[in-house]
A and B are shown apart, each in its own frame.
Chain A
């Protein structure tokens, strides 16, 4: 069963320690498990507010950092045990696109040179073939090679730069692209085009995405599945349409009801309680959402709720 998964995280934890004399521990990722199915290409959304551990999980998957505990399985094999040859293969198949298209491209090279570096490093093509591979990648992201070749990053708009980053990610013909907030710096009109491009790449190039975002409207537009993080732990995982229309976890409920609806005839009627009026925060040993949860019970304080299967999804809440 698990062999079918493209990517699987099993009980992954990561704690950052800072400070010199007084060590401060921050649990960025706390016992997180989820899997991206591998039968067909999907867009899997990892959602959460800032500081929820989304990007730390991305960095663990990309092997920029190692988890303290747990396993990351790529098509059934632990990426932490890969040798250098296997790692090159993994890096070809799992690519990344980041938030800031303005800083992710080296400003001193024309973009086709940047793309050719990827083709060479990843050993995708050699000699003349490299040019063909680059043109093909540019065309798949909706750019005209003859217009783009020779241009420097500063000569391109934000949307074009984000397309270049997607083209670069496509060059090694990946199976999975980890996209960390790829549209959050773009204007609405450009954002729609990049989101559509992700949908097209999924359908035509059969690439899956791990789409990491805090923006639930764009997530629900492109996503197939969603995992909702809260302070480093998973609150809820499941098919995105069900989670959006009928969230189970009280945090997911709060999150979904806070998405501003772009329709003045559907304004929020009732108020939500201002969550942050108290400042004191005692360390919680139970559910991390305890102090903000409207439905909390005594047992929620005792131990963190395990992620349980409820219908077609997984929820970490004692209500279920």
Chain B
């Protein structure tokens, strides 16, 4: 498997005069070419900050304080703004959260799409853009007439398809989608999940899918990483992780999801994620962990270690 994106020891901090909190805390990740990679975790665990830092979209008071983001052999964090501009949208497209509500209400869809293309390819002809746009719209399940419409004429699901078509217009290698189905109804959500799968197959686009919804991950991703308080606690093939989650947090997260038609009593996760300004010593999950080993979990931080061929976990239960 060829590694398309490699994140090494990435740390992102939000800073004020008196305090510093680590939203992304020493994260290591590899995303293979052609796969759909899922990033899971609950609110404020650092998923979106991690996505933003890949394209260096972190704004003050946030700051990348260390690490590398290696895309196709190049460290994106070392590029200047001009060089990075050529990567954004052309090589890596990003669909931020709720971007379907960010379409310009006074421009027709086609004009917004053409703007994107012209910003990156100065010499391209109008006809070419139109042809490419029409083809792409059919691939994402939209009628070409939608190009002539305004955003308010479209439903939420259609706007999300427009956004996905826009993200693909320059044929990127990597598509980062942050909560792309979260505000949608289930039927529409299913259509979007199907669409992302189709794009992955048809165009070979590698996808980084970020969502808190474990059921969506189960339906679409190949490999999954679970984040907790700014750290990756477990990575592996999604089937194995649902079948036999290793990290107690992953176990409890999966046990807390209701399944339609099942009445087995769900267990939540007692307690709350730590205050990122005052991290506990040792494992960040130990205050909530039912399996914690006193004298170890509360003092030594577990590293993300390989436990089998394709699985990694950061937990002292698997030390040997």
**CB within 8 Å of B: which residues of A?**
49-50, 157, 159, 187-193, 195-196, 214, 216-218, 220-221, 241, 244-245, 254-265, 267-268, 271-272, 274-279
Contact = CB atoms under 8 A, between A and B. Distances in A.
B260 A191 contact: no
Nearest to B143: A277
Of residues B158, B194, B252, B266, which shows the largest number of chain A Cβ atoms within 10 Å of its Cβ? Answer: B266
A188 B42 contact: yes
Interface string B37-77: 00000110000000000000000000000000000000000
A272 B187 CA distance: 9
A216 B158 CA distance: 22
Contacts of A256: 260
B319 interface: no
B265 A261 contact: no
B259 interface: yes
Contacts of A157: 272
Given A187-B212, A217-B257, A255-B187, A262 B268 contact: no
Given A214-B185, A256-B260, A260-B215, 19 more contacts: A187-B43, A188-B253, A188-B257, A192-B258, A193-B270, A195-B266, A216-B186, A220-B258, A221-B266, A241-B261, A254-B187, A260-B213, A262-B215, A262-B242, A264-B242, A276-B157, A276-B188, A276-B191, A279-B143
Contacts of B218: 260-264, 267
Nearest to A268: B219
A264 B153 CA distance: 36
B254 interface: yes
Contacts of B187: 49, 254-255, 258, 272, 275
Contacts of A217: 215, 257-260
Contacts, number: 135
- Of the four ranges (under 10, 10 to 19, 20 to 34, 35 or more), the interface on chain B belongs to 35 or more
13 contacts: A49-B185, A187-B212, A191-B268, A220-B258, A259-B260, A261-B215, A263-B259, A267-B219, A272-B187, A276-B188, A277-B142, A279-B143, A279-B153
Interface in B246-270: 252-254, 256-263, 265-270
B194 A272 contact: yes
The CB with the most chain A CB atoms within 10 A, among B157, B185, B212, B268, is that of B268
A196 B268 contact: yes
A276 B155 contact: yes
Given A49-B187, A260-B213, A189 B269 contact: yes
A249 B313 CA distance: 45
A68 B152 CA distance: 29
B219 A261 contact: yes
A192 B266 contact: yes
Contacts of A220: 258, 260-262
Interface in B213-253: 213-216, 218-219, 238-239, 242-243, 252-253
Contacts of A189: 42, 252-253, 256, 268-269
